[in-house]
Structure 1
Amino acid sequence: MNINSEAAASEQHTAVAAVSALIPQPAARKGIRSLGTELYYLLRIQYAEVRETWIWVVLLASLFPFSTLLFMKFFLESPSPDVMMRIVSGNIIFPIIIMSINGLGNHISWSKQQGHFTFYASLPISKINFLLAFIIRGFLMTLPSVIIMTVVGHFVFHVDIHLNLGLIPIVLLAISGSAGFGTLIGFLTPNQDMTTMITNLLMVFLNFLTPVMIDIHQLPSVLQVVSYFFPTTYAADGLKHLLQGVWSSSVTIDMLALLAFTCLSVWIVVKKMDWRLE
C-alpha cells in the first residue's frame, strides 16, 4: 500500500473513531451541535474515500457533456440564440445527471452490496445525517464539472451568459434534487447490477428524451408528461431562464419542485428503508 493510500485510510479511521465516540442517543434528542459534529465526521469519511481520485472523476464527468457539446456545434448550422442557450444549459445539467444520479446511485449501491452499511449501522448516527453526507458528496463532486461546462459552453457557442445571484440557488437545488434522486435509486435497488442498468438507462433517457437539451413541446405528449417526474426537467428549465437573465414565476416553480424532490427523496429513504438491517 502506498503512502497516499495509508494516509487516506488513517484519516478515514480517525473520522470513524470520532463518530464512534459520540454518545448514543436518539436522533430526536440530539442537540444541533451534536448533529453538526456527527455530520462533520461523516463528511470526513466521504472525503477520505474520494480525495485521491476526485480530479479524474471530475474530468471524466466533464468529458461526455463536452463531447456532446462539440457534436452539437459541428452538427447544427446557424442555430438560433434560444437553441444555443438550451444546448449550453442542457450540457451544464449533463454532469449533474452523470455524477448526482449515475455516479452517486452506483456508489451507494456498491457500498450496500459490500456490506459497508452494516458497519455504519453500528454507529450512533442518525439516518438524516447519513443521507446528507452522501448528498453533499454528490454536490461537491458535481459542482466543478458544472462550472467547467458553463465556461466551455460560453466559449464554444459564444452565448451571452448573464451571471446573477439567482444562479446560486438553482444550481444548489438542481444538484441536491438530482443527488436525492440518485440516493433513492442507490438505496432501493436490490443490487449493483440493477442499479447500473437503471442509472445508465436514465442517463440516456434524461439527456435525449426529456427537455434537457430540447424544448418540451418538441416531445411526444407521453414523454412530456413523463418528464415532469424527473428533477432534471425543472433544473434545465430554471437554469436556461436564469442564464438569459430572466427570473420569472416559472423559475420559482422550478426551484420549489427541486426542493420538493430533495425532501421527498430523503423522506422515502428514511421512512421506507431500514438501512441498519442491510
Structure 2
Amino acid sequence: MKKLLTIFILILSIKGFSQDSYFLGKTNYCTPQKAESKKSFDTSFMALQFPKYYGGMAAVLVKVATEDPGYCDAYFMAGYFYRLKEMHKEALALYYIADSLAQNKAPIFKQNLAIEFMRFGKADRAREKYEEMVKYFPENPEGYYGIANTSIVLGDYDKGLQSLKQAEDLYKSSGKVKDDVIYMYGMLFTLKEDYEKALPYLEDVYSTYKKDDGYLSLYALAMIKIGKSKNDEKLIKKAQKTYDKIKDKPLVEDISKKLKEEFS
C-alpha cells in the first residue's frame, strides 16, 4: 500500500475515533493485583493534561504492567501515552497485549489497536479488530465505521458502504451523524467510480474539509467526471479551480493519475 494512501485513510481513522468514557478513569477491564497499580493508573489520567509528562507516565505504567502483568489497563494506558509521544511501535506492542488480556471486553482497546495497525499499513489486521468489535459490541458504531475505513485500502467498497450505513444508523440513534461519516460515503463512492452518488456527500462536507488536499482531490475528480458527462461548463470550471489548488501537491497515486488524465 502506498504511503500517501496510508496517511489518507489514517486521517479518517483518527477523526472517527470517539473519546470513550474510559478516559474519565472510572473503568477497569482487568483487576489489578496491587493497590499501588491502581493508584498509578488513576494518576495517569491527570497526566493527560500535561504533554511534558507523557514519556514519564508511559514509563511508570510499563513498570506497573511488568509488576502486575495481568493488569490490561496499565498496558493500554502505557500504549496510549506512547502513541501521544508518536512512539507507535511501542504503542502497537502494548495495545496488542492489552487487547489480548482483556479477552474481548474492551472495545476501546480493539479500536486503538486497529488504528495503529492502519498506521503501519496493515489494513487486514485492522479489519480483524474491527470485525471483532462488531461481533462483541454490535451496538457500537465505531466497529462498523472502522470496517468501512479499511475498505478504502482493501477495495471491497460495497462492504464498506454497507458497514458505513450500519454505523450511520447507530450514530443517528445516539446523536448527530459526524462529518467524517458523510465524507467517507463520498470517498467510497468516488473510489467505486460512482461519481453521481459521491458528489452530494462531498458537497455536504466542503466547509469542514476544504483545506484537506485529499478531500479536494476527490471533490475535483467527482466534479470533472460529472461535468464532462453532462457537458456542464459551470461544474467543469469549478472542478478546474479546485484542481488548481492541489495539482502540485503530493496526492494518492491512483487519484492523482485520474486527475491528470482529466485535466491534461
Whose Rg is larger?
Answer: 2
User: Which structure's relative contact order is higher, taking Cα pairs within 8 Å and 6+ residues apart?
Assistant: 1
TM-score where L is the length of structure 1:
0.24
